[in-house]
Each structure stands twice: as structure tokens, then as C-alpha cells.
Structure 1
Amino acid sequence: MPVFVRIVLLGSAVLLLVLTGTQPRTDAASPVYADVAKIFQKHCTSCHSGARAPDKFRMETYMDVMQGGRNGAMVLPGDPAGSEIIRRVKGASTPRMPKNGPPWLSADEVRVLEKWVENGAPEA
């Protein structure tokens, strides 16, 4: 193989590695707000919406969830164990949520919420 072809192939491989390393990671296991919003709509917003939301904790929008309620933040980005929302859906804090359970959130739904919080609770 001619030296010129080797140099071009090597240069292309290096360029591909550099470009791949600088691209944002797209991990299917990294949920965003749209993913958890489906869980919230299914289990939470029937109570946690509008002016009568318990402890003024509304869950209708990303900003509502991140703002928290009367008792402060419910989501601590990067800290699922310290996030009250995770503690409530797992039954580690009372009242367990959803309050009208069982049924509670499925193990998969809890994992999605935990992963979302662990990854910084991204909006998108």
C-alpha cells in the first residue's frame, strides 16, 4: 500500500476518533424530563396540580417539579438518595407516593426516576 494512502487512512482514523470523542453522549438509559413527565402524569398530577396541590408541590411542568413546594426541593439533581421524590416513591419517607397507592410505581418507573435524578434531572 502506498505511503500516501496509509497517511490518509491514519489521518482519517484519528479525525474520526477526535470527532467521536467530542460529540455529546446519547445514552438511551439517560432519561430526560419528557420521560419522567409520563410517569408524573400517570401517577402524580391528578393530585399535584393546580392551586390545591398538597404542600404547594405542583408537578405539571419541569419548572414546577424543580421548584419544589412548601417543604422545599423535592429533586436534588445528582442525588437520588437525598431527593425526597425518590424517597417517597420508594416508601422510605412518608407518606408514600402516590398516596392513593397501591398500586405504587413499578420498579422500572422508579429506576427511570432515579436515573433521571442521578444524571442531574435534565430538562432535555
Structure 2
Amino acid sequence: MLKRYQVFLALVLGVALLTAAGCGTSTSLRGSITGTIVDSQTGIGVSAASVLTSPSTTTVKTDINGNFTIPDVQPGVYTVTANATDYNSNSITVTVDNGLTATTNLTLVSMGGSFSRNVLPILMVNCSIVGCHDDSTAAAGLRLNSYTSLMKGSRYGAVIYPYDAQGSKLIKRIKGIETPRMPKNRSALSTADQGLLSNWINGGARNN
């Protein structure tokens, strides 16, 4: 009888100890990572950039303003990497605390962009128009309706110096550093458009 009582008492004590131990544990709450991916030169958000982490979580795309959120992330330390077309990738380390959101921002350096996709549309709408730099007018002998014409320059020489946007006459005219400012008698180009042109030149002014 005594032996049975001792066994029963041992079982009761064991259950009590397990219960006490269970009460002392805490459950990890998942958090998230949020932030913005921006162009290093213009400060404008980069849309459709891929954002991924190591250790791996969910890969997401930035919205039209460059914002992103990676949900359902276990607490821990992560390397966040952003990739986008025509940009060099960039990474940063963040810590996600229990149940909280880690906020981080990344800047991407442009590899120059595309002439046909980024540069030519700006020139065609703002510069290669009647009375300025289209085929019929070609002010100062400068035509801005093709890559060949742009790189040929004006009768006074080159207007584009690859890898040197700051020294390129086209950028100086567009920014009003030299006169007459371009586009002549029209609104100045937006900061975003100026940035696209500068990025393309600094990336080598490629015919792409």
C-alpha cells in the first residue's frame, strides 16, 4: 500500500513540475520588415524592385512609390537585399524583435538606365520638337531624336560626356547652369527626369 502511495505521489509531483515549467515558457510572436527603396541620385522610390532576405522569408516587390512590407517574419537577424532592373543591388542588416516591425530603407545606384526606355522619351517630348532640336529646326545643329544624333552633338561640339553627367553640356543646359536653359521657353524638366538623364550618362551613355 505504501509503495502504491509513493508511486502516486511521484506522478503527482511530476505533473506539477511539468505544469510549472510550461507556465514559464513564452511563445515567439512573428514580426515584419518594412521600408522604402529609393534611387540614390534622385531620392525617388524605385518601383517593382525585388526585396528578399537571408535567412529566407517571403520575397516581395516594391509598390509604385518604392515601399515594401515582408510579413510573418520570425524574430531574428536578417540581411535584406534589394534588386531592380538597371540598378546595382544593395543590402542591409536588420533585427526583427518579438512581435514588432523592423523598418529599414535602402538606396540603389543606377547602372545608367536605358536610352530607348528612359532617355529618348524625355528628349522627344521636351526637346525634339518644332522650333528646338527636331530634324527641321536642329537649333545649333543639334538633333535630339536619336542616339546617333545626340552623341554627334551640336556644331560647337559634344553635348554628352559618357560617365560625366556633371560635365556634360546637355545636363548643364537642362539644369540652367549654362544658358539658354533647356527646354527653351518651356517648364524645366522634373527632378526625376533630370535624374534619369544624369544616371544614364554616368552609366556610360550606352545605346541600349
TM-score normalized with structure 2 length:
0.46
* Alpha-carbon distance in structure 2 between the residues aligned to 1:45 and 1:27: 25
Give 1:6-85 correspondences, 5 Å limit: 26-28=85-87, 29=110, 30-34=112-116, 35-46=118-129, 47-85=132-170
* Alpha-carbon distance in structure 2 between the residues aligned to 1:83 and 1:52: 22
Aligned structure 1 segments of 4 or more residues deviating by more than 4 angstroms: none
Letter in 2 for 1:49: D
Considering only aligned residues, what root-mean-square deviation do their CA atoms show, in Å? 1.5
Task: Give the unaligned 5+ runs of structure 1.
Answer: 1-24
Query: Residue 106 of structure 1 aligns with which residue?
Result: 190
1:54-95, Cα deviation, whole Å (9 max, x unpaired): 110001110000000111000000111110000000000000
Task: Give the unaligned 5+ runs of structure 2.
Answer: 1-83, 88-109
Please state which structure has a larger fraction of its residues in helix: 1
Point out which structure has higher relative CO (alpha carbons under 8 A, 6+ apart). Answer: 1
Query: Residue 90 of structure 1 aligns with which residue?
Result: 175
SS at structure 2 position matched to 1:109: helix
Letter in 1 for 2:150: V
Query: Residue 120 of structure 1 aligns with which residue?
Result: 204
- Percent of aligned pairs sharing the same letter: 36
TM-score normalized with structure 1 length:
0.75
